Structure 1
Amino acid sequence: MGPIVLDLSLRRSACLALAALLVAAGPAASQVEDPAALAEAARDARQAQLEDVARAIALTDERLAELRSEIDALDQDRGTLNQTLIDTGKRVQALETRIGETETRINALVRSEDAIRASLLAQRDVLGEVLAALQRIGRRPPPAILVRPEDALASVHSAILLGAVVPDLRKAADKLASDLNQLVSLKNELARERDRMQEDASKLAEDRARVEFLIAERQGKRDASAAQLAEQERRAGALAEQATSLKDLIARMEKEVAAAARAKAEAEAAAAKRKEAAEIARTTTPPKSLGESDRLSPSVSFADARGLLPLPASGRITRRYAEDDGLGSRSEGISIATRPNAQVNSPSDGWIVYAGPFRSYGKLLIINAGDGYHVLLAGMDQINVELGQFVLAGEPVAMMASPKLASAGAVDIVSTQPVLYIEFRKDGNSIDPAPWWAATDDEKVGG
């Protein structure tokens, strides 16, 4: 009975393996196209579906109305609005990071799935041999010695053959069945990861809507009239066309545009006030935070904010300060590859002295952080702040582009992924921003 039971076990394993092969091969098994091309097309289709998960999430009118009511119900003082905006901005960045991590895991699972499918397709001939051998054994089973003693020699020969062949058949059938089990497990894990990504994408859509409502609420409280702002933006655009460098642009803006000049004066006054307070207190204790959310000027000087500033976007640092920029020079800032349409937060307190396009930098944002320091952000697609406006560290100020709009130029190498460029300047010269980043944020983004 031993050989017959073994035969049935092998048949069962081989049938499972055949099912695995059929599942893995799908329509491609009946086609004669290049397997590599088919695999690449399948990966492209899956990647497109993955990108559509987050893009296709749309909030209903009812949910948008609920979010609008939620914002309207807030205390309308500056501190509450600012803190809510900063908290929401942090959640948006955290969700963008989680979605990016989920995409990485999904891509790894997809690569494993492709490898298993390729393995199963490569074993089609082996599976055919296993099934053919089992069919032959089934048609001509070994003779029973007790029924026909005269066939004892044939029985011995069959036993010898089975002893040699069956281990190889079992090994092949078990390998195929193992691949099937692994493929099913991968598909289940992929489904769980996609569900997790869709849930995070829904939360992200809601928080982005909150940010938009909060920005609109804040902008509605601005004192400058629309006509005055439009005239200053027009003047800023003209100066940007005339400027020969970033240093020249900043100097022209703070001299010839009223909002930027006022921002410079406020930054100088705030710095003088801090120095006077520090002289009275005579303390050298390093600050533990940047201050309360209702502040109208930096509570901490930029020089003392080392180790406190949040990175403006979640993503992967692709180039650090002083590294080769690929154009024969050294980078004067850092570059972060972000998700499409990623949110950009202000890395520091300060006043907006420029917000608009500038040469090959794309959309450029310049923040006067006081004490001769300026922070530059470039590569965005949409800017949500105005000239002369005071912004807080962590406050949403812009949005990145979709992949098809990602710019390169002086900012970074050509890429299908949006790239945010960040530069710190002191008295017109670029400096290494690394000492200023909060340790947790720097570790989160990685290098």
Structure 2
Amino acid sequence: MKRLALILTLLSAPAVAQDAGLAARDAAEALEAASILLDTAEDSRDRVAALTDTVRAFEDGLAAMRDGLRDAAIRETELTRKLAAQDAEVAQLLGALSALGSRAEPQTLLHPQGPLGTARSGMLVAAVTPGLAAKAAALRSDLEEVTALRELQQSAAKTLEDGLAGVQRARTDLSQAIADRTDLPKRFTEDPIRTQILISATETLNGFASGLSQITENEVAEVMPPIEDRKGILQLPVRGVIIRQAGQADAAGVTRPGIVMATRPSALVTTPTAATIRYNGPLLDYGLVSILEPQGDLLFVLAGLDAVFGEIGDVLPAGSPVGLMGGDGGDIVSLTSEGGGAGRSETLYIEVREGGTPVDPLTWFTTE
């Protein structure tokens, strides 16, 4: 019902306000669909897949809602400043309209110079009145649009809050569903002692990746199909924007062979293709790391996670969740532009290694 009220508010708004809030209307409908997905995920045969789709639906809906609210807030600010700058002109306009009244009587137009003066004054009023009426109509339209935009923001803010609560519930349910999952195939088991020895003896990500084969036990033959035919078209593992290219120096002048993506707090990270978990856990200064192996001699390194899912050796289907970004995800809306990563406070480092050598991740992933 709250989302219905938002849609009705939009439909009753002036045309420009409707344009400014179109994304908010679409986002409200997307969040409504995500809520339905969340309710039906409980009965799904594959709860992990259903909840993964639900979290992504919420994330997309929330992003669209923030964009719609931002556009509406920016438009309202523009109109408010415009009206404030026209205070003197508005006062004069109101004075002129008050003097004329809604129905000017004949004696109002009498002129002390007689019929000729009266005729001239009538012609003058006839020429001025349409302009005054046009200015009054424009002023009324601006005021109506400001009112509509404010009502839109009030209604949509509540919808956004409900969406944030919904996605948090979906993330919690997803974490539990992953913990309860027992049907994943396993390529090998981890030797925890060897893993700790490797971690303690490793000083670089390159050295750790090179030694991954040493921490496995009972590894079966390669079972993952090659994915060379999908090179360059894989989806990035998280919703966000790229803020640092491969080989680009950071603020400290350090260069790394991977890319850095800015994401929303608590964003879901998924595997872009079927892959084996080679490692997940803390590593060096990268925070929590998940290393995926889609095929032999190819590794996807995802670093900077706040939570990791699954166990080393698990074979994940494409699109499976591998972790969550940090932050509480409770921000409502920012009036700043999203293009440079504003509002995306978390960063994910992505590195791709072919045959033990780092390559530009964008040779594998599409940014569309």
Considering the TM-score relative to the shorter chain, is it more than 0.5? yes
Query: Which structure has greater strand proportion?
Result: 2
1:341 is aligned to: 266
1:433 is aligned to: 361
TM-score (norm: length of structure 2): 0.70
1:180 to 143, 147, 155: 143
2:132 is aligned to: 169
**2:313 counterpart SS class:** coil
Residue identity opposite 1:427 in structure 2:
G
Residue identity opposite 1:247 in structure 2:
N
2:27 is aligned to: none
1:397 is aligned to: 322
Q: Distance in 2 between matches of 1:108 and 1:178?
A: 18
Rg larger in 1 or in 2? 1
Q: Distance in 2 between matches of 1:327 and 1:149?
A: 82
Deviation at 1:124, TM superposition (A): 1.7
1:130 is aligned to: 93
Deviation at 1:311, TM superposition (A): 2.4
Identity, % of aligned positions: 25
Structure 1 residues 249 and 161: alpha-carbon distance in aligned structure 2, compared to 1, 3 A threshold: same
Q: Distance in 2 between matches of 1:198 and 1:146?
A: 59
Kindly indicate whether the alpha-carbon contact (under 8 Å) linking 1:323 and 1:331 is maintained by their aligned counterparts in 2: yes
Deviation at 1:110, TM superposition (A): 1.1
Once the two structures are superposed, residues 204-243 of structure 1 have per-residue CA deviations (whole angstroms, 9 ceiling, x without a partner) of: 45543442232021169899xxxx98x82x7645643441
1:262 is aligned to: 217
Q: Number of matched residues?
A: 324
Q: Distance in 2 between matches of 1:112 and 1:429?
A: 49
Kindly indicate whether the alpha-carbon contact (under 8 Å) linking 1:250 and 1:353 is maintained by their aligned counterparts in 2: no
Matches within 5 A, 1:4-403: 70=43, 74=45, 81=46, 84-137=47-100, 144=107, 151-152=114-115, 155-156=118-119, 158-159=121-122, 161-163=124-126, 165-187=128-150, 189-190=152-153, 197=160, 201=164, 204-205=167-168, 207-218=170-181, 232=192, 236=195, 239-255=198-214, 257=215, 261-262=216-217, 265-266=219-220, 269-270=221-222, 297-298=223-224, 300-306=225-231, 309-323=234-248, 325=250, 328=253, 331-402=256-327
Residue identity opposite 2:318 in structure 1:
A
Root mean square deviation of aligned Cα: 4.3
Deviation at 1:342, TM superposition (A): 0.9
Deviation at 1:381, TM superposition (A): 0.8
What stretches of structure 1 of length at least 5 have no aligned partner? 1-53, 75-80, 271-296, 405-412
Structure 1 residues 104 and 400: alpha-carbon distance in aligned structure 2, compared to 1, 3 A threshold: same
Kindly indicate whether the alpha-carbon contact (under 8 Å) linking 2:246 and 2:258 is maintained by their aligned counterparts in 1: yes
Kindly indicate whether the alpha-carbon contact (under 8 Å) linking 2:241 and 2:263 is maintained by their aligned counterparts in 1: yes
Q: Distance in 2 between matches of 1:135 and 1:303?
A: 76
Structure 1 residues 147 and 193: alpha-carbon distance in aligned structure 2, compared to 1, 3 A threshold: closer
Deviation at 1:348, TM superposition (A): 3.4
Single out whichever of 301-310 and 148-157 deviates more from structure 2.
Answer: 148-157
Structure 1 residues 323 and 182: alpha-carbon distance in aligned structure 2, compared to 1, 3 A threshold: same
**2:217 counterpart SS class:** helix
Kindly indicate whether the alpha-carbon contact (under 8 Å) linking 1:346 and 1:397 is maintained by their aligned counterparts in 2: yes
Residue identity opposite 2:264 in structure 1:
R
Q: Distance in 2 between matches of 1:145 and 1:361?
A: 82
Q: Distance in 1 between matches of 2:274 and 2:110?
A: 96
Q: Distance in 1 between matches of 2:79 and 2:231?
A: 49
Single out whichever of 302-311 and 369-378 deviates more from structure 2.
Answer: 302-311
Kindly indicate whether the alpha-carbon contact (under 8 Å) linking 1:143 and 1:155 is maintained by their aligned counterparts in 2: no
Structure 1 residues 131 and 429: alpha-carbon distance in aligned structure 2, compared to 1, 3 A threshold: same
Residue identity opposite 2:351 in structure 1:
E
Structure 1 residues 151 and 308: alpha-carbon distance in aligned structure 2, compared to 1, 3 A threshold: closer
Structure 1 residues 317 and 90: alpha-carbon distance in aligned structure 2, compared to 1, 3 A threshold: farther
Q: Distance in 2 between matches of 1:370 and 1:189?
A: 49
Structure 1 residues 117 and 241: alpha-carbon distance in aligned structure 2, compared to 1, 3 A threshold: farther
Q: Distance in 2 between matches of 1:332 and 1:403?
A: 29
Deviation at 1:336, TM superposition (A): 2.5
What stretches of structure 2 of length at least 5 have no aligned partner? 1-30, 330-340
Residue identity opposite 1:262 in structure 2:
E
Residue identity opposite 2:95 in structure 1:
A
Structure 1 residues 150 and 423: alpha-carbon distance in aligned structure 2, compared to 1, 3 A threshold: closer
Query: Which structure has greater helix proportion?
Result: 1
Residue identity opposite 1:371 in structure 2:
G
Single out whichever of 325-334 and 424-433 deviates more from structure 2.
Answer: 325-334
Q: Distance in 2 between matches of 1:243 and 1:324?
A: 23
Structure 1 residues 147 and 156: alpha-carbon distance in aligned structure 2, compared to 1, 3 A threshold: closer
Kindly indicate whether the alpha-carbon contact (under 8 Å) linking 2:41 and 2:50 is maintained by their aligned counterparts in 1: no
TM-score (norm: length of structure 1): 0.59
Kindly indicate whether the alpha-carbon contact (under 8 Å) linking 1:317 and 1:337 is maintained by their aligned counterparts in 2: yes
**1:359 counterpart SS class:** coil
Q: Distance in 2 between matches of 1:328 and 1:216?
A: 40
Deviation at 1:112, TM superposition (A): 0.6
**1:312 counterpart SS class:** coil
Structure 1 residues 305 and 221: alpha-carbon distance in aligned structure 2, compared to 1, 3 A threshold: closer
Structure 1 residues 125 and 244: alpha-carbon distance in aligned structure 2, compared to 1, 3 A threshold: same
Q: Distance in 1 between matches of 2:66 and 2:53?
A: 20
